[in-house]
């Protein structure tokens, strides 16, 4: 690939990553408005998203390598296992501690991704990137109400949110590993199927009802599946083919900014001066990290 073509792919990947982050950032709104419990909502997110992925796989000719042998199939299924664990842990933490704590601590995923990239793939970490990462994490802290946001939550709930961040980091790293060989569509089919299979028994175990009672409830699940998962996760997976995994995870810190804005517009949750400053710090941290 020529340098010009590579640069164009990088720009498109950056746009896809930002749009995907915005789409995923709307997921807390769909979860909040869902008529079924958090685990059932997580199951329907991936189960409904599987249908368009399968349809596109049938009508689209894929030029990537086909999985061969048990090893390839296991690597394609692994991201879905991590995604199911992430969704289960994060939704559970929302019922064990404050929303601010759960969202803040779940966004520590870039720390785990950067450490994992350095540990397993020997990715070089520059001081400029670390400075951008630090700024972005400070911005998330300010966005969620400052240092006091870490208080008032139950310790078990806070720990569960950190577990969610760890599993999301594993999801990002495993996506980066398989994206080098397989197409976005093939990965999303296998990952989504794996996540649905893994989270279904958890939903049956923890939820008393699995089916929404109204059309509005189904609309919220459809929005979560088609906008946040098909659109958001699909674009992020595409971007991972052309951008470093550590930077990609950092850019997804846009998600709490988007969630705060949507909550202000749709749920009448005000965005104060501290939240606005926090959002600006997050964006500045992303720009600094991009330079690194």
Give the per-residue pLDDT at 82: 94
Give the per-residue pLDDT at 65: 61
Residue 192 near residue 53 (C-beta atoms within 8 A): yes
User: Into how many domains does the chain fold?
Assistant: 1
Give the per-residue pLDDT at 39: 92
Q: What is the pLDDT along the chain (292 residues), one digit of tens a residue?
A: 556 655 667 778 888 888 888 888 888 888 888 899 889 999 999 999 999 888 887 887 766 667 667 777 788 889 999 999 999 888 888 777 766 667 777 777 777 777 777 777 677 777 887 887 788 778 777 766 666 655 555 677 778 888 998 898 888 888 877 777 777 788 888 898 999 999 999 999 888 889 998 999 999 999 999 998 888 877 877 787 777 766 666 666 677 778 778 877 887 767 677 767 777 777 677 767 766 5
Phi-psi region of 146 (alpha: psi -120 to 50; beta: other; left: phi over 0): left
Give the per-residue pLDDT at 57: 79
Q: Which domain holds residue 7?
A: 3-291
Give the per-residue pLDDT at 193: 92
- Give the number of other CB atoms < 10 A from CB of residue 39: 22
């Amino acid at each position: 690939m020529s340098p010009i073509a590579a640069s164009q792919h990088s720009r498109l990947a950056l746009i896809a990553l930002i749009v995907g982050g915005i789409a995923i950032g709307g997921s807390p709104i769909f979860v909040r408005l869902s008529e079924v419990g958090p685990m059932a909502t997580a199951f329907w997110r991936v189960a409904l998203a599987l249908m368009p992925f399968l349809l596109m796989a049938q009508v689209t000719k894929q030029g990537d390598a086909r999985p061969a042998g048990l090893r390839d199939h296991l690597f394609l299924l692994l991201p879905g296992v991590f995604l199911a664990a992430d969704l289960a842990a994060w939704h559970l933490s929302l019922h064990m501690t404050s929303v601010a704590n759960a969202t803040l601590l779940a966004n520590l995923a870039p720390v785990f991704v950067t450490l994992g990239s350095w540990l397993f793939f020997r990715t070089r970490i520059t001081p400029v990137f670390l400075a951008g990462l630090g700024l972005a994490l400070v911005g998330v802290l300010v966005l969620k109400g400052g240092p006091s946001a870490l208080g008032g939550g139950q310790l078990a709930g806070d720990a569960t949110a950190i577990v969610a961040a760890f599993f999301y980091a594993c999801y990002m790293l495993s996506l980066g590993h398989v994206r080098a060989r397989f197409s976005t569509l093939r990965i999303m089919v296998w990952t989504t199927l794996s996540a649905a299979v893994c989270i279904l028994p958890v939903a049956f175990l923890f939820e008393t009802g699995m089916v929404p009672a109204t059309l509005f409830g189904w609309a919220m699940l459809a929005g979560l599946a088609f906008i946040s998962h098909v659109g958001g996760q699909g674009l992020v997976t595409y971007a991972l083919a052309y951008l470093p995994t550590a930077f990609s995870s950092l850019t997804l810190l846009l998600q709490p900014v988007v969630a705060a804005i949507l909550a202000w517009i749709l749920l009448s949750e005000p965005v104060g001066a501290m939240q606005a400053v926090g959002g600006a710090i997050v964006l500045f941290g992303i720009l600094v990290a991009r330079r690194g």
